[in-house]
Structure 1
Amino acid sequence: MAAIVRTVGDKLMGTAARLYQNALGSQLAQYGLRYEDLLNEEEKEVKEALSLADPDVLTARNRRLKRAIDLSYKKKSLQDYAPDMELDLFKKEIYADIEKIRARDNEYAQLNAHKGA
């Protein structure tokens, strides 16, 4: 019985995730952003990953953010200016580094857990 409930739950979550990704993707495309551009730069892991990122990645990110701000201010869409532009909305350039930093920090916390006791 639990396996059936889990299977149905997984299918529902998969469907909901796809619907959310499609909705989010259309909003990102409107401004020419990538999902990673929405990550909070003030989070420790994101800040460190950005400091380790290639300068070209940072330049592209800053240009996308500035373009999105400009488009939002003008109440325009990127499609108004570049209707045939290829966008890779969910490309991961810094997320792998964020995951490694989190894993490192978790390992460090576990290794030093005895100090708090």
Structure 2
Amino acid sequence: MASLLQSLLDPKKNWLAAQHMKTISKRLRNFGLRYDDLYDPYYDLDIKEALNRLPREIVDARNQRLKRAMDLSMKHEYLPEDLQAMQTPFRSYLQDMLALVSILEIYIYIYMYIDFIVHPSLRLCILVM
């Protein structure tokens, strides 16, 4: 089942997925954005934590891209064609850190569960709350 889903979403194997990716790429290039810029740190705390762990230069570049996109959108304009050609909308800067944050979160939950089992006195504290 998973391989079927992967083949449906793979742009190399599915024509519709390729067309969707092409459309998204064009829209992101119009405003000079990357796909990872679309993630909202207020919606997902993992995104917020991943952004906090990234180097300051990368976060500043992200904020500049978002400000430029909002400015262009308010003016009902697009980036000039020469700048659109230089854009890399699917170059990821957030996915690796997001995976790391997810793994760390799993480790924290496992540690808390083990700590809960090892220390039975915590059961009483949790039941009282």
TM range (shorter): 0.7 to 0.9
Question: What is the match of residue 120 of structure 2?
Answer: none
Question: What is the match of residue 22 of structure 1?
Answer: 22
Shift of residue 94, structure 1, vs aligned partner: 2.1
Show CA shifts across 1:77-111 (max 9, x none).
11xxx321201111111221111100111232234
- Shifted more, 82-91 versus 16-25: the winner is 16-25
Give ranges in structure 2 of 5+ residues lacking alignment. 118-122, 124-129
Question: What is the match of residue 37 of structure 1?
Answer: 37
Larger Rg: 2
Alpha carbon RMSD of aligned pairs, Å? Answer: 2.3
Question: What is the match of residue 82 of structure 2?
Answer: 84
Task: Answer 1 or 2: higher relative contact order, Cα 8 Å, separation at least 6.
Answer: 1
Question: What is the match of residue 49 of structure 1?
Answer: 50
Shift of residue 47, structure 1, vs aligned partner: 0.9
Question: What is the match of residue 127 of structure 2?
Answer: none
Using the aligned pairs only, state the percent identity.
26
The 4+ residue runs of structure 1 with deviation greater than 4 A are none
Shift of residue 10, structure 1, vs aligned partner: 4.8
Show CA shifts across 1:39-82 (max 9, x none).
1112211111111211111111111111111111111111xxx3
Structure 1 CA distance, aligned partners of 2:106 and 2:99?
Answer: 10
Give ranges in structure 1 of 5+ residues lacking alignment. none
Question: What is the match of residue 12 of structure 1?
Answer: 8
Q: Residues 105, 22 of structure 1: CA spacing in aligned structure 2 closer, same or farther, 3 A cutoff?
A: same
Structure 1 CA distance, aligned partners of 2:7 and 2:101?
Answer: 31
